Chain A
């Protein structure tokens, strides 16, 4: 499972409730979820993306390709969120076409992935 942990994940998050038995009676106890393992998965995931990131930096792929991979979208999923046909999205993976895109289409992509247009145009 490719999980992206948000940066301020636990600022207003209580964790997980467990039912515990303390010898006499049952108690409910909130426990902070340990996201160490999720972070390990996330780091592995980011490492796997290194080739794609390089391709974006050298100009073979558009930033959209990187965002699709990092948030574990695929063409079908993105197409159903945005309403843009899959063959068009495939075209937009190339920088040549991506740089010519209108704002309305960029907005659709940004809305589907849940980031702003400025974030969509560049990579980390």
Chain B
């Protein structure tokens, strides 16, 4: 039995699944729009946290799950979230929902996922289960595949009940009744303002927002002194991974926010936002250039020193700060 579910690919798992689920109920909200409304854009750097498994040391988006709750709360969509202690019970509940014809979003771990290219203990990947055929489930994974996939029920149980930090515990969510989404224009303005506040940051917490990028640049300058040659390389490598590979990659989130601003400009009929969109796009390019330079540094194919990398980060921090201060002023009139 398969639900008639249109699979559309997306850059990011969480927003992609929400967008697809809303599309199933007849609402055309793009992935970028959900990302913007859910205030997903941020920068977090927590230096004293060990980088192991899915610890948040550097992050370019908010904590997994927060985009989902924020966006759907603002859009006034009724969702049901459930977690289980018993594995069989969790699978049974999923079957019941599927027979009722409801697509169910699931939070899964990456380590045991059969088609995942890497094995890491990251427990916040999202996918949508849309059908069951015999012993196999049919899933839609928007951020890694362009078509629907089959997965055996044993594998699905294993990934749904993965262990480690942030245990998913078979977490699943579904939309209870057909949502009525009215005018989103007011919500967009509010969420742009909140994102600006978050990025500019508060005075006493330098770990969030643009000031965290400045902090990171200081750390990058002293990498060699602190960790030695090899340690510095692996630090840079994990930074590049976060920028290029985890989720959509840090630069990918910047591109996505630029797309959100572009869509907002069309919806609100404010051509000024279009300029901000192209500026955000430029910042995304800066991040990618930085990652490229780091990659070259790791493979010993460049002359640039750690100080140069730090300068690049400072440039990005200045650009982002200028951008968000201007955007906040613009919104306040």
Contact = CB atoms under 8 A, between A and B. Distances in A.
A2 B52 contact: yes
A111 to B, nearest CB: 8
Contact of A14 (B10, B146, B262): B146
A57 interface: no
A115 B145 CA distance: 25
A3 interface: yes
A4 B118 contact: yes
A44 B244 CA distance: 19
A101 B321 CA distance: 59
Q: Chain A interface residue count: which class?
A: 35 or more
A17 B117 contact: no
Contacts of B32: 19
Interface stretch (A32-40, A90-98, A102-110): A32-40
Interface string B4-22: 0000011100000000000
Contacts of A20: 255
A50 B95 CA distance: 46
Going nearest first, the 10 A-B pairs with the smallest beta carbon separation are A9-B117, A80-B163, A4-B119, A17-B11, A41-B237, A37-B240, A3-B118, A19-B255, A19-B259, A3-B120
Interface of B: 9-11, 32, 51-53, 111-112, 115-121, 143-146, 163-164, 230, 233-234, 237-238, 240-241, 244-245, 248-249, 252, 255-256, 258-259, 262, 278, 281, 295, 298-299
5 contacts: A1-B241, A4-B120, A21-B281, A34-B295, A37-B241
Interface of A: 1-6, 9-10, 12-14, 16-21, 26, 28, 30, 33-38, 40-41, 44, 71-72, 77, 80-81, 114
Given A5-B118, A71-B119, 19 more contacts: A1-B53, A1-B120, A2-B52, A3-B118, A3-B119, A3-B120, A4-B118, A6-B117, A13-B144, A17-B11, A17-B248, A19-B32, A19-B258, A28-B11, A30-B9, A37-B241, A44-B233, A71-B111, A114-B111
